[in-house]
Each structure stands twice: as C-alpha cells, then as structure tokens.
Structure 1
C-alpha cells in the first residue's frame, strides 16, 4: 500500500473525493478542510493499492492538482485493515509487480544528478577497483562494483528516452560525462603516486590473471550488461529493490574504469583501451536493456488499463 496526500483548492475537493471514493483501489479516505496553508486549501489523504497508484495520480493530475496543489506518495510497510485488504484485492495485478511512473521519475531524477556525493562514491569505487586490479583481488573488484553509483544515471537515461524527458537524459549524461573522467583522473593520479613512492607496482597487472575479465571484451560482456540492465530496471519498477545489489555486482563499469587507469600508468595501452571499450559496452548494454524493459512494461500497463474497470461501479 501507498499513502496518498493531496492538497486541493476547495473548489476541487468534491471532485477529488468523489473520484477517490469511487475507485476500488482506495481505502481510509480522510479530508481535512482548510488544513493546507501553502498553498491554501484542503488536505485529502487516502491509502491506495500500489497497483492503482499510477492511475490515481494521473487522474488527480488531470484535475491540475500537481499545479494548483500538490500530490505526494509514501510507502506503507504495514496496513492492518480489512478495507486495505479489500482495496489490494480489488486492484488488478500484484503489488510487487506494480509500476508507478511518478515514483520512478522521482527516484531516477534524484539519483541521476551530478553531486559531490555522487562523485565521491564513484571515485572511491574506481580507487577500490584499482587496488583490486593491482593486488589481483576479485573480491576487492566486486566491492568496487557494489560501491559504484552509476546505475542511477543509466536508469535515468532509459526512463528519459522512453518518456521523452530530454531534461532527465541531459542531467544523467552530465553526471556520467563528468563523473567518470574525474574519477578516472583522480584514480590515475593515485596510482602514479603509489608507483613513484614504491607503494604499488602497476606493472604487476601483467601477471594478475584473476581480474583479466575486467578488460576482456566479448559477446559475453554485452550479454551480461543486457541482463543486468533488464534486472536493474525490473527492480526499480517493482518492489524488488534488493535485486539491485546483484545488478551492481554483475556489470563491469567501475572496474573497467579503474583497470584502464592502472594499465595506462603501467604503460599497457592495449589493456587500457580494451578497458575503456569494456566500460562503454557495459554502459550501452545497460541503457538499452533498461529501455526495452520499460517499453514492454508500459505496453502491458496500457493494455491492462483497457481491460479493467476503474471504479467500484
């Protein structure tokens, strides 16, 4: 279940209440007349089945509440109520499979921005990858995969392409175009300092075969990227967000960026080039698969909307 809060101009409140009262996916409808101060108006609250949330928000936006008032959604971990059970039962499909476009836009929009925190995580991940490459430690490389924050912008690009939200695409591209080069340069500087001081020897990568998969590009690289992108988008558009950890471990984006800088400092430009290619293959594969998943889910959602009743009758 999701908790819906809508700020309504008083003249819109009767329409909103009538719609929510009639919709089979709503429960616990409450109205607070005059409770909203900025903007002024009424506060309407309801618990809604996740399967019906997207449709309900779209209908409220059609009443211009997104402009004249406000609409918010919050996840409810527990709802002990026969009315809530009835709403979930009446709503078509399963809550774990339900897709709320507004929630997805909000999440990807937030995670796709270039920020100091995003850059810090990406840089740390690249540094971890470099350490894993130099020490021939697959475990450290996997740790770098988990720390890397790059899936957020990649998912945002897919969402922006499908919904034609070019502002979202631009925002995500900036995060990647700035984030990866900065992280790679800082990693290269760190590796170079380690070489100068004798702390590490980047040339060791010649004999470190446990992490060769990072720069070895092939059909399997693209296939894994496609599967990871599909799984990641399924996780983001459903209630299975825990699966994202597995997605992070599957893709060779951050490790490839880290390997490229270690190889460059070691003078192995062939491996550096293959690592950069590996990075781009994974980025493209993830975005492509994520976009395909969104298109398929969107078509399924639209076809389902044509077949189901929208109200209690």
Structure 2
C-alpha cells in the first residue's frame, strides 16, 4: 500500500477531485496558502499496483511534473472504500505487487551511489575477491560479492531504456563498464604485489587453485547465471523483494571473473586473462539483457503515449545489440565448453584403455588417470581436436615392488596414443603399495 500526496495547481482542483471520486478513492484536501501556483494539497491511499495508472490519470487532468508528488509506504489503511479499491486492483499475478514506474526509477537512482563511491567500492570488492581466489577461500569471495555495488547501475540501464530516459541508460552503462575495467586493473595490481612480495609460494600455478581455475577457463554454462541474476534483480526491485540478496547474485556473475582476469594478467597468462574478461563481458551484457526483457514483460512503459513508440524502437535496438554481442563473445565460451567436453571424454577413454592393459597384470592396479592441458600456446577452444591441446597424460599404477615393467609403460603409451592425432606425452607413475612411494 502507498500513501500519496499531490499539490494541485491553481484552477485544477475540481478536475482532480472528480477524477478521484470516479476512481472511488478516499482523499483529504488541504488548502495551500504558501504559493500562488498551487491551490491545495490532496492526500489519499492506494494499492501498490494502482499508483502508476492513477498518477498517469492525474497528469492527464493537469497535474504537471513540476507539481510535488510524494509516494510513501503505508503500513495500514482502515477504510471500507479502500478495501473495495484494493479488490478492484487485485490480481493473481505479479502485477498486484508491482511498484509504479515513478517508484521504479527512484529506486534505481537510490541503488546507484555517486560515481566516486561506486568506483571505490567496486575496486575494494575486486581486491577482496583477488585475495579470496588466491587463498582458495569461497567465504572471502562471497564477502567480496556482498560489498559490490553493481545492482544499481545494472538495473538503471534497463530501466532507462524502457522508460525512454537516455541519461539513466547511459549512466548505468558507464558505471558498469568503468567499474569492470577498474576492477580488473586493481585485481592485476594486487595480484602482482602479492606475487612480488612472496606472499604466495614461488612458482605457484594458479590453475591448481580451484577458485581460480574454474574462472580462467570459463564455459558457456555460466551464462544462465547472469541471465537469472538480471531477471531476479528486476523482479525483486519491482515487487519489493530483498534487493540485497539479489545484488549478491549479480555480483557473483561479475566480481570473481574480474579478479580472475587480473590474476591471470599478473601471472603472465594472456589467454587465461582473455577467457575471464570475455566471461565478465558476457555476464554483464546478460544481466542487462534479461533485466530489460523482464521489465518490458512486466509492462513498464514511458508515461507519455507519444514516447512509447520511441521506447519500443530503443528496446528492440538494445535487445539486438545485446544478443549479437553476447552471441559473438559466446563463440569463445562455446569453444572452451566443447574443448572441456572433449578433454573429459578423452580422460574417460584413457582410463578405460589403462584398465584394459592393467587387467592383464594380476598385481597392477590403476589408481588414477589425470589429463593436463597446455597453459600456453594456442587459445583453448581454437582447435577442433582437443588432443592437440593436451600436454601430458599421467597414469598412476599401484602394486608390489616387482610391478615396474618397461613393457607395461610402452603398452600404456601405445594404447593412449591410438586415440590422439599427435603423440601425447604419457607419464606412468608406479606406487609401491604399503611401502615408500616411488615413481618412474
């Protein structure tokens, strides 16, 4: 429920009150004596989803944008006439809980801090995420998402499009892209300092850190996370659901990949940095795309009818740009996803071949098969054959001391390379079960 206060311009009192009577709205009128421009102030309660149509109707009868209109929450309204009004606007859909277009724009502005505050908080979030990734600490990474102020600009850009407010749209996009660029640079600087000051072990391979590895070789399956975050953000804003929780979800799609890109730059891995940066851009555009579509689906439009066609053209244009750019960037992620699938399939094949060879040796047991992909050279996903990107296949075999056999090693190498186009290095490590570890 909402409580509305509107200043009535001189000469418009009768038209405004007749409109409220026609709508069946309880109201209280107070004479205004502080200004010659306004004749009175009218106050009345409304169901939440009735605010926008009633304010639009008031504008049509003479309430200009220069008039003061205040919309506040109302906890309780005791009135039989209001109950009837509430039943009139009651629906079984999300529309019953939707806030007005005017409130939506105000909410987005409140969620968007000044640029200096936004940029500073985004840098801090990126720095915390960088430390969390290097520590392989999910808790610290989640903490970085909580302080990231990304939801406001992300939703502002979509809102600006549907209500035909170009300034709101451009401000939202400028905040987002500047924040992402600054976050990546800050993460790179912090990661380089951590490496230079030996705060991590020398020669640390970031691909061995789970929190980092899953973000420097991103897959297309991560795109639905961004799409869901954008849609949930708009729904939470439009219906008054906990916006802070959804803000963490949007940050989850953007902050960790930003930090991963910075870490990859500091470690001198340009291909990994490119993968993380592409993921950030795809997620950012995905959030904006789903937010824009959800707002349009919920029925938000400009206040003036002659602006609707302009907003519709802008909506179609923005959707087209987002879809095309996401599709182009997703080609890179698709390549990575396909390569990951091929590597997993090859690892399964290597395991089966190793088990088949070792089945002929009574004392030999397959302990583990690990396939490692090259970290440098051609970008992951650019080759149609994933075996061309495999660096080494490590086969761990357990058994008594006498299990070591040069013929066994040769047979394993042959069996593995029957499934590759180029010769792949095969390392066979023998583990003496029950005694000291030995490898060959």
Question: Where does 1:28-43 land on structure 2 (aligned, <5 Å)?
Answer: 29-35=27-33, 37=35, 40-43=38-41
Q: CA deviation at 1:30?
A: 1.0
Moved more, 88-97 or 130-139: 88-97
CA gap 1:148/1:299 in 2 versus in 1, 3 angstroms: closer
SS in 2 for 1:66: coil
Q: CA deviation at 1:93?
A: 2.1
Question: Where does 1:14-93 land on structure 2 (aligned, <5 Å)?
Answer: 14-24=14-24, 26-27=25-26, 29-35=27-33, 37=35, 40-93=38-91
Moved more, 126-135 or 83-92: 83-92
Q: CA deviation at 1:35?
A: 5.0
**Native 8 Å contact 1:227 1:289 kept in 2:** yes
SS in 1 for 2:142: helix
Structure 2 segments unaligned to the other structure (5+ residues): 302-440
Q: CA deviation at 1:78?
A: 3.3
CA gap 1:212/1:49 in 2 versus in 1, 3 angstroms: same
**Native 8 Å contact 2:98 2:238 kept in 1:** yes
**Corresponding residue pairs, total:** 298
Question: Where does 1:281-296 land on structure 2 (aligned, <5 Å)?
Answer: 281-296=282-297
Q: CA deviation at 1:102?
A: 1.1
**Native 8 Å contact 1:191 1:200 kept in 2:** no
Distance in 2 separating the partners of 1:219 and 1:192: 29
Q: CA deviation at 1:277?
A: 0.8
Distance in 2 separating the partners of 1:210 and 1:32: 62
Partner of 1:307: none
Q: CA deviation at 1:243?
A: 5.6
SS in 2 for 1:144: helix
Partner of 1:148: 148
Partner of 1:223: 224
CA gap 1:5/1:35 in 2 versus in 1, 3 angstroms: farther
After superposition, give the CA deviation of every residue in 1:185-226 in whole Å (9 maximum; x if it has no partner): 233333333333333469452321144333342221111211
Q: CA deviation at 1:40?
A: 4.2
Greater percentage in helix: 1
Q: CA deviation at 1:149?
A: 1.4
Partner of 1:262: 263
Distance in 1 separating the partners of 2:173 and 2:112: 8
Larger Rg over CA atoms: 2
Moved more, 174-183 or 33-42: 33-42
Partner of 1:198: 198
Q: CA deviation at 1:146?
A: 2.4
CA gap 1:22/1:11 in 2 versus in 1, 3 angstroms: same
CA gap 1:37/1:215 in 2 versus in 1, 3 angstroms: farther
Distance in 1 separating the partners of 2:78 and 2:247: 33
Distance in 1 separating the partners of 2:101 and 2:2: 14
After superposition, give the CA deviation of every residue in 1:171-194 in whole Å (9 maximum; x if it has no partner): 112212322223332333333333
After superposition, give the CA deviation of every residue in 1:60-118 in whole Å (9 maximum; x if it has no partner): 22234233422121122333444443332222326753241111122223434652221
**Native 8 Å contact 1:123 1:183 kept in 2:** yes
Distance in 2 separating the partners of 1:51 and 1:180: 35
Q: Which has the higher contact order (CA 8 A, sep 6+)?
A: 1
Distance in 2 separating the partners of 1:178 and 1:66: 36
After superposition, give the CA deviation of every residue in 1:272-310 in whole Å (9 maximum; x if it has no partner): 11111110111111111111111211189xxxxxxxxxx
**Native 8 Å contact 2:130 2:190 kept in 1:** no
CA gap 1:66/1:128 in 2 versus in 1, 3 angstroms: farther
**Native 8 Å contact 2:48 2:97 kept in 1:** no
Distance in 1 separating the partners of 2:130 and 2:35: 53
Q: CA deviation at 1:233?
A: 1.0
Moved more, 7-16 or 243-252: 243-252
Partner of 1:119: 119
Distance in 2 separating the partners of 1:298 and 1:248: 26
CA gap 1:220/1:35 in 2 versus in 1, 3 angstroms: farther
Moved more, 194-203 or 165-174: 194-203
**Native 8 Å contact 1:33 1:41 kept in 2:** yes
**Native 8 Å contact 1:114 1:179 kept in 2:** no
Distance in 1 separating the partners of 2:296 and 2:115: 29
CA gap 1:258/1:34 in 2 versus in 1, 3 angstroms: same
SS in 1 for 2:298: helix
CA gap 1:266/1:211 in 2 versus in 1, 3 angstroms: closer
After superposition, give the CA deviation of every residue in 1:151-170 in whole Å (9 maximum; x if it has no partner): 21111111222233222111
